[in-house]
């Protein structure tokens, strides 16, 4: 069996497990899984732009915040939850179009720097636009507007699965090949006829769509949103560390990274958020310096070193 088939079977098994999980879990455990899916979906979104093209976004949590606010408002205006999710995703993606054209004409570091401020700008706008967002007080959603935990669980699961399948599909498509060409050598990619800016913008918009939807479901889960919880800097950190730790630009990396980081957080440092983030910082340094391929690369190397291992890239 080659790596691709192994991956496929593991994937099917995980999907089956996650679908059956609500039957045997209490609310706390189900909520924990929901958060794991949240991190997986966000990580895949980041993976899509930053892992694939090498353009590091330090502000992707902004799209999450936009989605969360959009959804909170849509719900209070009486839209059904599923429409709120779809529209919030659409709004985040629409916002990404001009932003993408503006920032992605620029080469790597400029993009990274421009994105670094985006989350802050989101927070400032949410704080100042009091007539819509109620400023620092935030928006509280009454319980009758919200779907049940099962619905939220499966929606978040669907988002994580959808984001993963999207990344997997792009990975094998011509589009994905072009994105990786941009990452490896943008000038050469341009030379052979890749429309680099358009490709980058499409990847960027797709990668904004997912956090928009995730934020929309998140606000249903917490039933409250304010500027600092919507545009939380820690969320950016988590996204980035999870992907790099697992293996950036791969399909499985964000899943493995999210699983590991979330279990560590729950077991070791749930009580100390500052220690959790400091640990993520250390993890990031270690990965960047000593394990640039992430956990996935360890598994892959082991596969490669087996004499009977077939060649062929594992997803």
Partner 1 sequence: MELLEPEILLQLLIGGLLAGALYALLACGLNLIFGVMRVINLAHAELMLIGAFGAYVLFHIFGLHPLASLLIVVPAIFFVGYYLQRFLIERVVGRPMLTSLLATYGLSIILINLGLLLFSADFKSIPALQGSFLIDELAVSKPRATAGLISLLLTVGVYQFLERTRLGKAIRAVSEHAQVAAICGIDVRQIRMLTFGMAAAMAGAAGVMLSVIYSFWPGSGVDFIQKCFAIIIIGGMGNFVGAFYGGILLGVVEAFVGGFISTQWAEAAAYLLLVTVLLIRPTGLKGVARA
Binding site for partner 1 (CB under 8 A): 54, 56, 58, 102-103, 105-110, 112-114, 116-117, 120-121, 124, 127-128, 233, 237, 240, 244, 272, 274-275, 277-278, 280-285, 288-289, 292
Pick between residue 28 and residue 290 the one whose CB is nearest to partner 1: 290
Residue in the structure block whose two tokens are 């790099």: 244
- In angstroms, what is the minimal distance from the CB of 120 to partner 1? 6
Q: What is the nearest approach in angstroms of partner 1 to the Cβ of residue 237?
A: 6
Name the one residue in this structure whose structure tokens are 């935030």. 138
| Residue whose CB is less far from partner 1, 53 or 155 | 53
Of residues 60, 73, 56, 51, the one with CA closest to residue 205: 60
C-alpha 201/C-alpha 100 separation (Å) is 5
Nearest distance from C-beta of residue 128 to partner 1, angstroms: 6
20's tokens: 């059956």
Q: Minimum distance between the CB of residue 105 and partner 1, rounded to whole angstroms?
A: 7
Distance of CA 22 to the CA centre of its chain: 23
Could you give the count of Cα atoms lying within 13 Å of 96 in the half-sphere of its Cβ? Answer: 31
Nearer to partner 1, 20 or 275 (CB): 275
The gap between the terminal CA atoms of the chain, to the nearest Å, is 14
The nearer residue to partner 1, 18 or 284, going by C-beta atoms, is: 284
Our CB check for partner 1 shows the closer of 3 and 133 to be 133
- Give me the least distance between CB of 254 and partner 1, in Å please: 16
CA-CA distance, 50 to 52, in Å (whole number)? 6
d(CA 9, CA 17): 12
Residues facing residue 140 across a β-bridge: 224
Min CB(150)–partner 1 separation in Å: 35
Residue 307, helix vs strand vs coil: coil
Given a contact cutoff of 8 angstroms between Cβ atoms, the answer to whether 223 and 68 are in contact is: no
> Residues 168, 254: contact at Cβ < 8 Å?
no
Q: What's the min distance (Å) between Cβ of 115 and partner 1?
A: 11
CA contacts within 13 A on the Cβ side of 163: 33
> Of 102 and 270, which CB lies nearer to partner 1 in the complex structure?
102
Smallest distance, partner 1 to C-beta of residue 187, A: 13
Looking at the Cβ atoms of 123 and 152, the one nearer to partner 1 is: 123
Query: How many Å apart are CA 300 and CA 256, to the nearest integer?
Result: 13
Q: Which residue lies nearer to partner 1 by CB, 13 or 278?
A: 278
| Token pair in block for residue 174 | 């011509």
């Amino acid at each position: 069996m080659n790596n691709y088939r192994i991956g496929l079977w593991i994937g099917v098994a995980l999907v089956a497990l996650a679908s059956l999980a609500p039957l045997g879990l209490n609310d706390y455990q189900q909520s924990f899984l929901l958060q794991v899916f949240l991190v997986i979906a966000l990580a895949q979104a980041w993976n899509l732009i930053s892992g694939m093209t090498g353009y590091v976004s330090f502000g992707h949590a902004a799209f999450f915040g936009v989605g969360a606010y959009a959804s909170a408002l849509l719900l209070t205006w009486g839209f059904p939850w599923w429409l709120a999710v779809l529209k919030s995703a659409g709004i985040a993606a629409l916002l990404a179009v001009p932003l993408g054209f503006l920032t992605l004409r620029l080469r790597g570091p400029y993009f990274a720097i421009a994105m670094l401020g985006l989350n802050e700008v989101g927070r400032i706008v949410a704080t100042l636009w009091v007539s819509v967002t109620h400023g620092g007080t935030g928006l509280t959603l009454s319980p009758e507007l919200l779907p049940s935990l099962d619905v939220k669980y499966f929606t978040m699961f669907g988002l994580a699965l959808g984001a993963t399948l999207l990344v997997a599909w792009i990975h094998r498509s011509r589009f994905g090949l072009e994105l990786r060409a941009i990452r490896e050598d943008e000038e050469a990619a341009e030379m052979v006829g890749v429309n680099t800016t358009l490709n980058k913008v499409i990847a960027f918009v797709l990668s904004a769509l997912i956090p928009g939807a995730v934020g929309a479901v998140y606000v249903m889960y917490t039933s409250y949103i304010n500027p600092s919880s919507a545009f939380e800097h820690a969320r950016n950190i988590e996204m980035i560390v999870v992907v790099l730790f697992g293996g950036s630009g791969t399909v499985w990396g964000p899943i493995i990274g999210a699983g590991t980081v979330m279990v560590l957080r729950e077991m070791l440092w749930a009580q100390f958020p500052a220690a959790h983030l400091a640990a993520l910082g250390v993890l990031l340094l270690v990965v960047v310096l000593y394990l640039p391929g992430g956990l996935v690369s360890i598994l892959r190397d082991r596969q490669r070193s087996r004499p009977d291992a077939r060649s062929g890239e594992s997803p």
